Structure 1
Amino acid sequence: MAANRYYQGPVSDHFDGTRFFNPGGAEPRGFSDLLRWRLGGGGSRAVWPRRVESPFPQAVPEARVADLRVTMVGHATLLVQAGGLNILTDPVWSERVSPVSFAGPRRVVEPGIAFDRLPPIDLVLLSHDHYDHLDTETLGRLRARHDPLVVTPLGNDRIVAEAAPGLRIATGDWGDRIEVPGAVVHVEPAHHWSARGLRDRRMALWAAFAVETRAGRIYHVGDTGFHGGTNYRAAAAKHGGFRLAILPIGAYAPRWFMAAQHQGPEEAVEGMLLADARHAVGHHWSTFQLTDEPIDEPGRLLAGALAARGLGRDRFRPMLPGETWDVPEA
C-alpha cells in the first residue's frame, strides 16, 4: 500500500492509517466506471454554452457588513460577510479547474466579484483538495493581497503550504473546534473523497464546516453525497440548527456514477430541512461543466423541489455569479 504523502496520524473511524473513508458510506467509483461514463455508457451529456453572461453585474462588496450577506462568485466560491467578518469558501478565480492550464473544465461565466474588488478577507474555508475547490493560484493571490487564515481538514495543509508558502493555515479533523478572530469553526463530516492526481486518492480529508458568527450559525458544505441524511441530522443535533446553510445542488448526473458523492437539488432541500436551516444558498452549479446535466437544470429542479414541499423560493436560493443576498433573520 502506498504511503500517505499528505498526512500521518493515528487510525480512526474514518482513517485506516493510509487513506480516509466515509464510515458506513461508499467509496468513489473506479477508473473502469469513469471510462464507461465518459465513453457514453452513462447517458447523454448536455452541451453547455462556451460563455454565459450572468444576469447580475459583478458585485462591489462593502468592506464590512454588520449582519449576514452572501455574494456568489461562482461554483463553490462565495463571499460570506457575517457580523463584521469576511469569509471566502473554496476560492477559485482561475479560468480552469484542472492540474494544467490548457485543458480541463473551463469557466463559462466571469467571477461574480473581480478579484481586485474583494474586501479584506479574514478567513478561507477550504473543504477538500479537488481542483474546483482548491485552486493554488488563487490561494497564492490571496496570500499576497489579504493574508487570510485558511481552515481546512487534515492533509490539505500540506498541499496548500507547498503551493502558497507563508499562508496561515489551521487544520482540523472531523469534530474539531477551531477558534478564529470573530468566529468559531467546527470541522464536520461530509460524504465525499479527495485526489489531486492518480496516486493520492483519499489521502487528504474532506469536510463541511459549521461556523458560529456574531450574525448566527452558518453551515457550509463544499461537496457531499446525501448519504441518507446522516451528516445533516448530526449537524442539527450538535449545533441546534443554522441561520444559513450553503449546500451543493449541481454536478449530479449521471446518478449511477455521481449519487454517492454529489447530491441533487431534491436531496439538498431535504438536507436543509434535516439540518434545521432557516435559509439556504445553492452552489456548485452553472460555472464549470463537470458532469452531464444542462447548465440551468439544478436551478429548475430546486424550484420544483421547493414547490413540492410547499416552501417558498426565498427559503433556498440557487445563486448566480454577482448575486448578493441579505439573509433574513432566523
Structure 2
Amino acid sequence: MPASKRAANRYYSGPPSDHFDGTLFFNPGGRMPGRFTDLLKWQFNGQRSKWPATSPSPFPQARPAARIEGSGLIVTMVGHATLLIQTAGLNILTDPLWSQRASPFSFAGPRRVNTAGIAFEDLPPIDLVLVSHNHYDHLDLATLRRLKAVHDPLVITPLGNDAIIAAAIPGMRLSAHDWGDRVETGNGVAIHVEPAHHWSARGARDRRMALWAGFVIETPGGKFYFAGDTGFHDGINYRLMAQKHGGFRFAILPIGAYEPSWFMAPQHQNPEEAVQGMKLANATFAAGCHWGTFQLTDEPIDEPARKLAEALAAEGISGDCFRAMRPGEAWEVPDTGASR
C-alpha cells in the first residue's frame, strides 16, 4: 500500500532507515508476517496439540538473593520470555509478565499453565527492564504497572514501544532506542539494542508501527545476549552478533512457538535453529525460553525441550551448556565454560 494511503504511525515518527520506511518498520531482506487468510488457514488446520490445563514446574518458586556482585551471574526463569538476570550488582528483567493471560483480556487468550518461577513479592530490587517488542506475551502493561509502583525500574525498549507504555503508565522511566544504539546504565554495564527478525502489533490497525529487538548486556563479567522474539532468518542476526560482539558468555534464545513452520518461521525459531544460533553467535552457554508456559502454537508442550536435547546431541554439545529452563530454575552460570 502506498505510504500516502496508510494510517499514520501512532507510536513513532522519524527518518527512514534500512528497517523503517518512514511509516512502518520491517526486517531487511526478511519475510513479512502472514496475512489474515494465512492466519485463518492455520487456525482451522486441526493440528493444534492439546496442552494440559496445568503443567507444574519441577522447581519450586525461587527466592533470589538481593544482589549478585562482580562477575557472578545467576539467571532465574520466571516463565515464557521472563527471566531475572543478576550480575554486576544489577537486577535485570526480560519481557516481564506475571499476569495469568498473555492477552489484552483478563477472560480470554493464552493462559499460564504453571506458576511464575518467582513470586512477584519475592523479587529483589529491579533496576532495569528490557522489553523486546509489543506483543502481549512480551509487553504486559499490568506487570509493568506493578513494577513501576514497587521498584521504579528503567525500561529499555525499541522505538515506539515507549509511547504505548507511557500512555498507560504515566511517570514510568523509559529509554527508547533504535537497532545499534548503546545505553550506559552504570556499574560498568551497557545495553546494546540489536536486530531481531519479528514484527509488532497490539491490535488490528497498528501492525509494524513499533520496532522489535534483541539486547546485548555488556558487563565486567562478559557479554550476555537476549535474542528477544525472533525467527532464524538464515542466521543473519546471529552472525552479526558474533561479528560485532565477538561472542557471549551466555545467551537467552527462544525455542518454542514454531509450529506450523510455514506460518511461524518468519517470527519464531525451532530448537534446531536455536542450537545453530548458539553456535553462530559464539555463545558458551544458553537458556531456552518462550516455551511451556503459554500455548501459542501447535506443538506439544514438551516437544521444544525434547527437540532441543536431540539437536544438542546431534551437534555434540552438552545439555549442560544449553538448558530448556523451567519456572523457578536458577542457573549460576560459570564465567568460563567447558568446551562446546
Deviations 1:265-302 (A, max 9, x none): 00000000100111000000000000000001000000
Q: Alignment partner for residue 274 of structure 2, among 268, 277, 285? A: 268
Instruction: Give 3-state SS (helix, strand or coil) of 1:313's partner.
Output: coil
TM-score by length of structure 2 reads: 0.96
Give the corresponding residue for 1:84. Answer: 89
Give the corresponding residue for 1:258. Answer: 264
Q: Report 1:165-176 matches (<5 A).
A: 165-176=170-181
Question: Following TM superposition, where does structure 1 have runs of at least 4 consecutive aligned residues deviating by more than 3 angstroms?
Answer: none
Query: Quick check: 1:197 aligned with 2:200?
Result: no
CA-CA distance at 1:214 after TM superposition = 2.4
Instruction: Give 3-state SS (helix, strand or coil) of 1:19's partner.
Output: coil
Give the corresponding residue for 1:109. Answer: 114
Instruction: Give 3-state SS (helix, strand or coil) of 1:144's partner.
Output: helix
CA-CA distance at 1:215 after TM superposition = 2.2
Give the corresponding residue for 2:64. Answer: 61
Query: Quick check: 1:321 aligned with 2:321?
Result: no
Deviations 1:22-76 (A, max 9, x none): 0000010010000001011xx5111000112110000000001120000000000
Say which is worse superposed, 255-264 or 213-222, in terms of deviation.
Answer: 213-222
Q: Alignment partner for residue 233 of structure 1, among 239, 248, 268? A: 239
Say which is worse superposed, 53-62 or 212-221, in terms of deviation.
Answer: 212-221
Query: Quick check: 1:149 aligned with 2:154?
Result: yes
Give the corresponding residue for 2:11. Answer: 6
Cα distance in 2 between the residues matched to 1:28 and 1:286: 23
Instruction: Give 3-state SS (helix, strand or coil) of 1:152's partner.
Output: strand
Cα distance in 1 between the residues matched to 2:138 and 2:170: 19
Contact 1:82–1:214 (8 Å) recurs in 2: no
- Partner letter of residue 47 of structure 2? S
Q: Report 1:281-320 matches (<5 A).
A: 281-320=287-326
Query: Quick check: 1:35 aligned with 2:50?
Result: no
Instruction: Give 3-state SS (helix, strand or coil) of 1:141's partner.
Output: helix
- Unaligned runs of 5+ residues in structure 2 are 1-5
Identity %: 68
Deviations 1:7-33 (A, max 9, x none): 000000000011000000001001000
Cα distance in 1 between the residues matched to 2:259 and 2:313: 22
Q: Alignment partner for residue 49 of structure 1, among 39, 49, 52? A: 52
Q: Alignment partner for residue 160 of structure 1, among 158, 162, 165? A: 165
Give the corresponding residue for 2:215. Answer: 209
Query: Quick check: 1:220 aligned with 2:226?
Result: yes
CA-CA distance at 1:253 after TM superposition = 0.3
Instruction: Give 3-state SS (helix, strand or coil) of 2:155's partner.
Output: strand
Give the corresponding residue for 1:249. Answer: 255
Cα distance in 2 between the residues matched to 1:279 and 1:172: 27
Instruction: Give 3-state SS (helix, strand or coil) of 2:320's partner.
Output: helix
CA-CA distance at 1:329 after TM superposition = 1.4
Give the corresponding residue for 1:95. Answer: 100
Cα distance in 2 between the residues matched to 1:167 and 1:283: 26
Cα distance in 1 between the residues matched to 2:36 and 2:106: 23
- Unaligned runs of 5+ residues in structure 1 are none
Contact 1:8–1:17 (8 Å) recurs in 2: yes
Cα distance in 2 between the residues matched to 1:323 and 1:159: 31
CA-CA distance at 1:325 after TM superposition = 0.3
Instruction: Give 3-state SS (helix, strand or coil) of 1:314's partner.
Output: coil
| Count of aligned residue pairs for this structure pair | 328
- Partner letter of residue 50 of structure 1? A
CA-CA distance at 1:321 after TM superposition = 0.2
Give the corresponding residue for 2:3. Answer: none
Cα distance in 1 between the residues matched to 2:36 and 2:314: 37
- Partner letter of residue 247 of structure 1? L
Cα distance in 1 between the residues matched to 2:208 and 2:35: 13
